[in-house]
Amino acid sequence: MNTQAHLPSLVNPKNLFNNHSSSGFTLPETLVIVLLIGILASLGIPNWMAFVATRRLNTAQNEVYHAMRQAQRQAAKEKLTWQASFREQNGIVQWAVHSATVNSSDANWNNLDSNVRLDAETTLEETNGIKQIQFNYRGNVKEPPLGRITLSSKSGGKSKRCVIVSTILGAMRTAKEHTTTNDGKYCY
């Protein structure tokens, strides 16, 4: 008996693509897809840019905090006055940790992210364009006033990050922007 006669007829592969519908998208369908992608991108890009700016500020804040702590530790370790110095050079915020006997211009300067700037809320003591905080042989703030260094993004926005030296014993803390002001400052 012929077994092929009982099998249902198989679809010819050549006929799969020869039906009456065309494959692909029409021009209006393509335009709608491009328009939807454009709308989604325009909604997402500002949020992404704000996220990136905030991450940069967080990283810079962390570097500033560790620089101040390093100066404090070195002062206590070597029983000498050490300082953390900050400046803006060619639009880039830089920091250095060095002995107070070393001229600040001769210190080893490190760059923060180029999209970060020193904010006007910065209250550290300034000498010759260099903002600084000094720690004595015990790791305490050598001479008040105490202060804060506040960082903000060059691209704008309300995000701020600060490192605050809050006691003469050298206690430090970090903070970020608030919606309300405290003594004219938003980063407290």
Predicted TM-score (pTM) of this structure: 0.77
Is the pLDDT at 7 greater than 80? The verdict is no
**Confidence class for position 109, pLDDT limits 50, 70, 90:** very high
User: From CA 58, how far away is CA 78, in angstroms rounded?
Assistant: 30
Is the pLDDT at 169 greater than 90? The verdict is yes
pLDDT for the residue 42 = 85
Domains with residue ranges and CATH for the chain: 27-187 (3.55.40.10)
User: From CA 88, how far away is CA 95, in angstroms rounded?
Assistant: 9
User: From CA 116, how far away is CA 49, in angstroms rounded?
Assistant: 14
pLDDT for the residue 17 = 55
Query: Would you say 111 and 148 are in contact if contact means Cβ atoms under 8 Å apart?
Result: no
| One-letter amino acid of 110 | N
Residue 68: DSSP 8-state: H
User: From CA 53, how far away is CA 42, in angstroms rounded?
Assistant: 17
pLDDT for the residue 13 = 58
Query: Would you say 142 and 81 are in contact if contact means Cβ atoms under 8 Å apart?
Result: yes
Would you call 74 helix, strand, or coil by DSSP? helix
**Confidence class for position 1, pLDDT limits 50, 70, 90:** low
User: From CA 155, how far away is CA 52, in angstroms rounded?
Assistant: 11
Digit-coded pLDDT (tens) for 58-91? 999 999 999 999 999 999 999 999 999 999 999 9
User: From CA 26, how far away is CA 9, in angstroms rounded?
Assistant: 34
Q: Which two tokens stand for residue 166?
A: 């809050």
**Strand segments (E) across 26-171:** 82-89, 92-99, 110-111, 116-118, 125-127, 130-135, 147-153, 160-165
More confident residue, 48 or 18: 48
Lowest mean per-residue pLDDT among 15-24, 122-131, 149-158, 172-181: 15-24
**Confidence class for position 19, pLDDT limits 50, 70, 90:** low
The H or E element that residue 177 is part of is strand 172-182
Lowest mean per-residue pLDDT among 23-27, 55-59, 87-91, 97-101: 23-27
Task: Return mean pLDDT, the chain.
Answer: 88
